[in-house]
Amino acid sequence: MCDTKYFKVLVEEIHSTTVATIGTDGHPQTRVIDMMLYDENGVYFLTAKGKAFYDQLMDQQYIAVSATKDKKAVSLRGKIKNIGYEKLDEIFEKNTYMQKIYPNDTRAALQVFQLYEAQGEFFDISDPSNIVRESIVIGNVEVVKTGYFVGEECIGCKLCYSVCPQKCIDTTKKPVEIDQNHCLHCGRCAETCPKQTIKKVG
Ligand code: SF4
Ligand code: SF4
């Protein structure tokens, strides 16, 4: 299960992303990695076998990716696997600058990795007073729900709405309902609720 429209943003609009792994010292490490290809099975990138990054990928089989451009952002975390030289030529055809970085047969130093099971978010703040947040899922990952949710004790006082920067709480219902696609996760509603019935999840 996945929605390739977000992969298109990641690969074609943003392209250069920040990828995090854990270093041998146990601390997070990031570096800029180009996302080269996508299909319905995930997103593809590559690295050279001689790099410490390669060793970390092989060892951890997991990454976190974040990228942003023009006030749109994509963040993903999930499982990766080495697919060797599969898709390497296709990557070089679609990303012709790679032919200059690794000319002729030197591309043999590279291995392709697939992000195949992940979850994350698309975030768009190009209209600041109406932000958009959407979930992204790759593969059969069990989705962990995150955000703020209103409980049954809600009395409909609307105080949460009055302090919400995005006014993304539907007060025509009781319990009132937070529109998850426009919520900033700022927590103001939960702090304000007299019944303490807005809970942070995840
Ligand atoms: S502040 Fe709490 S009780 Fe009041 S409407 Fe919001 S969720 Fe319901
Ligand atoms: S967390 Fe912030 S943005 Fe989201 S509903 Fe509550 S007040 Fe509004």
Q: What is the pTM of this model?
A: 0.85
Q: What is the pLDDT of residues 42-62, one digit of tens each?
A: 999 999 999 999 999 999 999
Atom of ligand 1 nearest to the CA of 158: 5
Are 125 and 178 within one domain?
no
Q: How far is the CA of 6 from the centre of ligand 2 (A)?
A: 24
Give the DSSP H/E element, type plus range, for residue 5: helix 4-8
Dist CA 155 CA 144 (whole Å) = 28
CATH of the domain at 102: 2.30.110.10
Which positions of the chain have pLDDT values less than 70?
Answer: 1-2
Q: State the pLDDT at residue 2.
A: 57
Residue 24's domain comprises: 4-138
State the closest ligand 1 atom to the C-alpha of 156, by its place in the atom list counted from 1: 5
Cβ-count burial 59-71 (b if 16+ within 10 Å, e if not): eeebbbbbbeeee
CA–centroid distance, residue 145 to ligand 2 (Å) = 16
Question: Does one domain contain both 52 and 84?
Answer: yes
| Boundary-marking domain end, from 119, 138, 157 | 138
